[in-house]
Amino acid sequence: MNLKPCYFCGRAGQLHCGGCGKVSACCSAHLNLHRRGKEPCFPWEILEKPLVGRCMVTSRKVCAGETLFQEEPVVIGPNQVGSPICLSCYSSIDLQYRCTSCQYPLCGPDCQTSSVHAEECAVLSRGEPPVFQEENTEAYHCILPLRLVLLSRSNPDIFNLTDRLMDHEEERSQGEDWQITERTVVKNILEICKGEEIEKFTIQEVRRAVGVLEVNSYEVHSFVRCGYRGCFPAASLLSHGCVANSRHIWSTTPPYTNTCIATVDLEKGEEIITSYHLPTTCSILRRPKLLAGWYFECNCKRCESADELGTHLNTQICKGCGSPSLLPTTPLQIGSDWVCQNSECLYRESEKDALKTATDLVDHIKTISKSDRYNIQLWLDILDKAESQVHPQHEAVIEICKWLLPIFCRGPNTRTQDYALDLLRRKIELAKRQTRVLNVIEPGISKTRAKALYELIETEIYLLVSYPQLFGEFKKNPENLDISIPYHQGLVADRIDEWMTTCQDILRIFDRLGSNPGFETILCTASKNILKRCSCMRTELKTGIVGKEWIKFKLGWSLLELWKYDG
């Protein structure tokens, strides 16, 4: 009997989808990536495209927020670099308890006897006891590769999900990390930890395991100083694009399911794109990292755009004329000279100089975020420095906004009206910059965009109701605006529906992605209460009667007061 090939790996398809009837799979593990139980089939299929290879495309029209696929990791384990983490439950730990056999740190006896750790422990216990140094240990390099090669014998159906994943061995063999992994992984597993089960493996198998994991792993969770990652075969089918149309939602509890959703509406046959790098990274930093980490030069529309699709994330201030107009002459060429776009200037400098400007700012920002992230004055100082060197929407400024806006004009026992007007105006300008950029490079369902939108509308509503003279209509016709009237129809009425729509957008995003305890949960409650207050404002506008909502507004308007609102 002729069997159709497995849609995922190409082997003989023993099983057939009971939903669509169009798909065959070699085993239940592979069929599970197409359809789970009696749920509808996931809306994707695999195509071969020139210059791209195997990729995932939609099999029908998909709406923003819809699930594209779900999967569990083939293997999961600690990041290569970081402070101690339990090999069984992946909690951040100290070195107080160590496995009595292999000497790796664990939570305690229960995690030592866990099946997660048992098989690898038998191998690791034959090696040297691991040495841990703060944030720079090599002891974890071998864990995931070891788990993957052991899986090839214990569960070949799951292991075979990695059959067609790229390992880029030729490119990796020319890199700096090759000799490190040869020593810490290949030699460690095959020679130092040699035993009966390890003798079954070849050097090629171990090297491929290293490559598959380096190229195809995703970080599931980070504790800042440590974290864990997994190899997800369906997610690894997604091509990179510097403007993604999908997003992963990682479960941080067993079985560590990855739910991939569409962040925007997708047409049938559209390629599903993810971002291998932080979307707000500027081109001069982003493109070399993609080449070094994933061995390709990105040629997407954003990369080929000198001004990054009009966001100016990469644009710097010209040292010749002082205008924010210094751009690479050839965006897709790493090493291209940078030239001022001002025709009266045409100042030119090397990419090396432009790279130093961007790197110095970004490194400074990282230092503050790790060591003193709640120091508002430090953020304002680095913001002033950034605005003197790069475009107002450069990556450095947008990254500062991410850290600064949640604490700016906000503090314990303070109300929005307790802050100087010039500070509030600066906050709203920064929030506008951030949202302008994120609407282009991180559109649709994005927590970062939702948080920026919240900071914008919370501040804008306060300023518009309290200081209408700052806005356009007053400046055009000041004699027609009585600022003693709290709700001026020409200013508030036309904006109230927009504010309510924005709040609904924020809530939809967090409803789909989930909100973490603390700030995100408070922000969601505050957004719901802004909706209630706007509804009251709209009623009062229609009746022309200033009621209790205006009184409550005057009593306080801040994140915590909005969170506590009992309207």
pLDDT in tens, 394-439: 999 999 999 999 999 998 888 888 899 999 999 999 999 999 999 9
The span from the CA of 237 to the CA of 232, in Å, is: 9
Mind listing the pLDDT tens digit for each residue in 30-89? 999 999 988 999 999 999 888 788 999 999 999 999 999 999 999 999 998 888 999 999
Asked, for residue 364, whether it belongs to a domain, the answer is yes
Asked, for residue 257, whether it belongs to a domain, the answer is no
Q: What angle do CA 14, 20, 23 make, to 5 degrees?
A: 35
Mind listing the pLDDT tens digit for each residue in 232-279? 999 999 999 999 999 999 999 999 999 999 999 999 999 999 999 999
Do residues 419 and 385 both lie within one domain?
A: no
Asked, for residue 558, whether it belongs to a domain, the answer is yes
Overall average pLDDT of the 199-227 stretch:
91
> In total, how many domains does the chain have?
4
Do residues 416 and 555 both lie within one domain?
A: yes
Residue 297's pLDDT band (boundaries 50, 70, 90)?
very high
Do residues 398 and 470 both lie within one domain?
A: no
Do residues 387 and 414 both lie within one domain?
A: no
Do residues 415 and 472 both lie within one domain?
A: yes
Do residues 104 and 2 both lie within one domain?
A: no
Contacts of 262 (CB under 8 A, 6+ apart): 62, 63, 64, 65, 66, 68, 245, 246, 272, 444, 445
Asked, for residue 236, whether it belongs to a domain, the answer is no
Do residues 369 and 224 both lie within one domain?
A: no
Asked, for residue 263, whether it belongs to a domain, the answer is no
Do residues 155 and 188 both lie within one domain?
A: yes
* pLDDT at residue number 539: 81
Asked, for residue 242, whether it belongs to a domain, the answer is no
Do residues 313 and 187 both lie within one domain?
A: no
Q: Which domain holds residue 320?
A: 281-404
In whole angstroms, how far apart are CA 462 and each of 423, 486, 542, 548?
Answer: 13, 11, 20, 16
Residue 479 has pLDDT above 80, yes or no: no
Residue in 189, 197, 114 with CA at minimum distance from that of residue 154: 197
Q: Domain end: 386, 404, 422, which one?
A: 404
* pLDDT at residue number 59: 96
Contacts of 400 (CB under 8 A, 6+ apart): 365, 379, 382, 383, 386
Asked, for residue 62, whether it belongs to a domain, the answer is no
Do residues 502 and 427 both lie within one domain?
A: yes
The span from the CA of 274 to the CA of 559, in Å, is: 33
Query: pTM of this prediction?
Result: 0.91
